[in-house]
Amino acid sequence: MEEKNILYDKIYAFSIRIVRLSQYLSNEKKEYVLNKQIIRSGTAICALISESKFAQSRADFLNKLMIALKEANETQYWINLLHDTEYISKPMHHSLLKDNKELVGLLVSITKTLKNKSI
């Protein structure tokens, strides 16, 4: 039986939200440039977490998580830009930003713990 991975589950759910946002931006708003950016960064977070499961070393594992953190930070930028350019509504912005900030917080906590253990 596979162990429950809360971080992965949350990030995977967020990736699904980003894909649905991308579909909305394409179909409803006919926006493709910003759409391409947010789908790349927003789904890369989960892809990097998936990659980290088979990291070659502790340093490689930490590196994957640090890159995932950078992607999450970039995704926050795109969410804010989409809101400020009126592509997404205030409630959609608030909800996506809340989820993204939670992921950033989790990743910051995990990477700090890993860094402290390696000192």
pLDDT, tens digit, 9 for 90 and up, residues 7-59: 899 999 999 999 999 999 999 999 999 999 999 999 999 999 999 999 999 99
| Integer CA distances (angstroms), 57 to 43, 81, 110, in order | 24, 36, 16
% residues pLDDT > 70 (the chain): 97
DSSP 58-72: HHHHHHHHHHHHHHH
Structure confidence at residue 3 (pLDDT)? 62
pTM over cut 0.85: yes
| Rounded-to-integer distance, Cα 87 and Cα 67, Å | 27
Question: Structural domains in the chain?
Answer: 6-114 (1.20.1440.60)
| Integer CA distances (angstroms), 18 to 53, 78, 111, 116, in order | 22, 11, 24, 32
